Structure 1
Amino acid sequence: MGEKPPFRTGDSIFHRPSGETWVCAWADPEAGYLSWLGWPPGEARIADFELAKAATDEEHRDRLRELKRSGGSIAARALRLYGDPDAEASYG
């Protein structure tokens, strides 16, 4: 899978340029970008963020499950990076 993502689905992340705190959908260290949960969807450079509050393992899995049910490209990328939250070998 490569380098471990710096943030996980469900982490609260502070976006320095805007001064806003968002919830991470996925963070891809190889691409250097991440996406957030909510509207409008989008991507931003990982380097522009810092961790505000780490999600617990349970929160992380719950958010991944919500994304999995919703489908779409954000869900597909999160599941590729972190694994299926319902599989035992999932990244935690």
Structure 2
Amino acid sequence: YIYKTGDHGILNEEGYIDFLGRKDSQVKIRGYRVELGEIENCLITHKDVIKTVVMDFKNEQGMKNIYAFVISRNNFNASELKLYLQNML
């Protein structure tokens, strides 16, 4: 059976599917599915944020973390932005 999971793959010569990635920006972090685009959409609503990119990255221990890169109009610190995002919940 083939299911629509949002994953891209190809059927190899042995009959197995080789995973190529996702067609969206959803990642799995510590068992939770996270949509990176949703985080970007929240960040961009801040009055000083001009552009943002959110990505996941594996550290040396193999743990995935989420990183957000932000271009802003004015200087502000990460704690201010973190508080802004927490107030959105």
Q: TM-score range by the shorter chain?
A: under 0.3
What is the TM-score of this pair, normalised by structure 1?
0.26
Question: Is the radius of gyration larger for structure 1 or structure 2?
Answer: 2
What is the TM-score of this pair, normalised by structure 2?
0.27
Task: Specify which structure has the higher proportion of helix.
Answer: 1
Task: Specify which structure has the higher proportion of strand.
Answer: 2
Identify the structure with bigger relative contact order (alpha carbons < 8 Å, sequence gap 6+).
Answer: 1
